[in-house]
Chains A and B, each alone.
Chain A
């Protein structure tokens, strides 16, 4: 069974490129373009790993992250947070809540794939 990845990102082009790259590596990719859609996915079809942008419409990434990390079942899902460099505050906040990895935009496709591999292998 393929490892399932949930991408939570509001930029459709970025979702498209990430989906393309990860699917080529054999992962099963779903995407959510806002926080509420992400919650729906998490409730009904929890993924093995999640890539989360913190700047999201409706429900921002931190709230999604908090929800995941406070849920007894979901909290084991590894989360890669996408941040923009220079927003130390965001990073600090994500660390406090508890997060497995950070990716700074713009990232290289290789790093994302390696991070996802590393986290799913550990799980």
Chain B
């Protein structure tokens, strides 16, 4: 009944279902109805691509061989997800902001968009994926043989003839077609594949369900309850003396590293994520998935040891136990579960790694060799697509080659751990780059290269038996004992895995730190470092503050069309143009736009290639070191902050100084006012005392004194009014209602008012040459106040025997001027400077009885200053004073 053909048919039907799911998912996504595709549940299930056939078959195998150690592979990710707030959140935020397409893109972006670094990470990923894919091929091939009854003794779970490599080859070809069809149907700008995510979420459900069904069957169907099962446990299985030693720590650590460093995990966690809500849920839901996955592993392992014939392959217990119990349907379901876990791992790995190969190895070479410049629109996309397809095929073939060459008698788990130790090499550069500002490209390159080399020499190659033959393992390279791959520098007696991780990661981390410290980062590295480390503080658009670039819009448009496709490129340009509020369809290629475009392109070809592409078009590029220093260096920022504080306190000091000065001016003003007030008050008091205490005062004297008292009190009133007026003018409260007026009208009115003053005296007030039709911006009342003040001063202080005051007006160089001259005592040269100051009276007032507060000229001067004009003393009049009022003429 369980013929190979039936198994094949079921497997093909299952694949068809997956295709249908992916198709529906993509359709929904394209019409914008993402809905459940973006739900935290689907996201979490897609992350469980972590559980490959290593988990499905290998975990039981591992539990049967070394007890609880298998759990570490799931405890590591549990710890990382429980602490998502620390690492994953930052990783995903950066991935979103910078359009990160893969782990290679992430690391290279962080280190100044370094193309060599991206290529190195890609290369390591390819090498690491070889054993990992080989593991899946081995598991599928073996399970196919077992469930399809192909071997002589299926219950042993391991065909005596070994795995059927012909079958393995065709499985590889099938997976290659499957992955190409799935993963490279279209190139999405963000490298998101909603259809694939839907399919692998479905597979996640299948594999968990299969494992739980098998578990339930084993525990309650075969074993008779959990207690009975554990009673069968070999005593040393769960209580091995060295169970919780260095290996326990190492495997937990490797698993924790792998959940972020594995290209496929990075892809589903970072690249495919759409919002932070997803991680919030995954932080507990994914550990829960792992928990449920592991729940039945130990019972299944114990049952396998207890019930299946001795020497059975523990890696196939999940499959052989139901077969042994005669539950063919469960066995078939288990096969589908294992098939699911293997296929989802292969698909996502292929998508992730082929993206890396095409973006970080093929594209840079294409750019270098100028394939791209001459290409027509769409050719870059074609190049990307075909390079991805080819790299998927090559990747699977390499995996098959590893499977074939290693001949691997080894357990699935030990192959998987080799891969984990390989990707863990990314950890120092990745995590260091997220949290350590001074980490730079030199450190990352050297650390990675050294770590990967040591990993290959101490772990990968010995397993391979290629180059590092058992002979070399035994006696060291070139017969040098200190170069023995599993006892480097004589460090022997260690578990090979622990030994390899110690040396490779230790040297990697040390070199990463040491070279980073020794080398000064380039400006772009410094910028990227800030953008990554401070992702929650600095906005990603900081880049456009620092980078100064210009490029012809036309060339940018051609470039964008080649990579994004015509429609998407046009849409992007249209949106950018409308964001710039231009009213046309072509945006201005400013720094912000170029940065946005580069980030958009990075979503398709990776940051390093996008930068290389944009750089071909950009005509000027400078990175403003000043700006960079300002934002990049924390100490610099602190310094800037303290400078800012210093500046602020300096300003405060100045303000205080200014206030003090104003305060003392105010004091001085007050004391001047007080003095000015006290003089008339002294007169008033003195005369009123005379009037009170002099009974024999002549009536005419008394009348005079009363008049003086009256005059002095009027003077006091004027003084206070003027003081208030001046205070208002000095505070900058400009004269109200500045309008277009004819100043001649105000002048004429003023003269008329002053004629009244003159009437009782012998002063002759005359008006000379005058202009007509002038317009100035002023306030008529204020201007009249100035004229009256000046004319009445000229009248009051004129001591000439034949006093005269003469008023003229004219237009002089675009300025309206009024000259008020008299033949009085004039202003003495030493008074000219101070005559417009407060409480300063010319000596002339001593020659006459007229008393003033000494504020009139100050007020007039202030009024004209406010109106944009001036009040000056005209030079050169032979006798008397001549004041000049000037106001700018406004065109009528």
Chain A positions within 8 Å of B, measured between CB atoms, are 10-14, 16-18, 20-21, 24, 33-34, 55, 57-58, 82, 84-87, 105-110
Contacts and interface: CB of A to CB of B under 8 A. Distances in A.
A82 B683 CA distance: 13
B351 to A, nearest CB: 89
A55 B690 contact: no
A86 B843 CA distance: 25
Interface in B667-719: 670-671, 674-675, 678-687, 689-690, 693-694, 705, 708, 711-712
Nearest to A37: B846
B409 interface: no
B849 A12 contact: yes
B846 A24 contact: no
Contacts of A21: 686, 690
Given A105-B681, A106-B682, A84 B694 contact: no
B690 A11 contact: no
B468 to A, nearest CB: 98
Contact of A13 (B678, B689, B712, B846): B712
B843 A109 contact: no
A109 B679 contact: no
23 contacts: A10-B846, A11-B683, A11-B851, A13-B683, A13-B687, A14-B679, A14-B682, A14-B683, A17-B687, A57-B841, A57-B843, A57-B845, A57-B846, A58-B843, A84-B675, A84-B678, A87-B671, A105-B675, A105-B678, A106-B682, A109-B686, A109-B690, A109-B693
B686 to A, nearest CB: 4
A35 to B, nearest CB: 10
Given A14-B686, A57-B841, A108-B685, 15 more contacts: A11-B680, A13-B708, A13-B711, A16-B708, A17-B686, A34-B843, A57-B843, A57-B845, A86-B671, A86-B675, A87-B671, A105-B675, A105-B681, A106-B678, A108-B689
A85 B678 contact: yes
A20 B686 CA distance: 10
Interface residues of B, number: 28
Contact of A85 (B674, B679, B843): B674
**Max chain A C-beta neighbours (<10 A), residue from B671, B681, B684:** B671
A10 B851 CA distance: 10
B692 to A, nearest CB: 10
A86 B677 CA distance: 12
Interface in B409-444: none
A107 B675 contact: no
**Max chain B C-beta neighbours (<10 A), residue from A12, A82, A84, A87:** A84
B392 to A, nearest CB: 95
A10 to B, nearest CB: 6
B798 to A, nearest CB: 17
A108 B687 CA distance: 10
A84 B682 CA distance: 10
Contact of A34 (B680, B681, B846): B846
Given A10-B846, A24-B694, A55 B686 contact: no
B689 A109 contact: yes
A21 to B, nearest CB: 6
Nearest to B677: A84
A20 B679 contact: no
A58 to B, nearest CB: 6
Contact of B690 (A20, A58, A106): A20
Contacts of B682: 11, 14, 82, 105-107
Interface in B636-691: 670-671, 674-675, 678-687, 689-690
A106 B686 contact: yes
A51 to B, nearest CB: 12
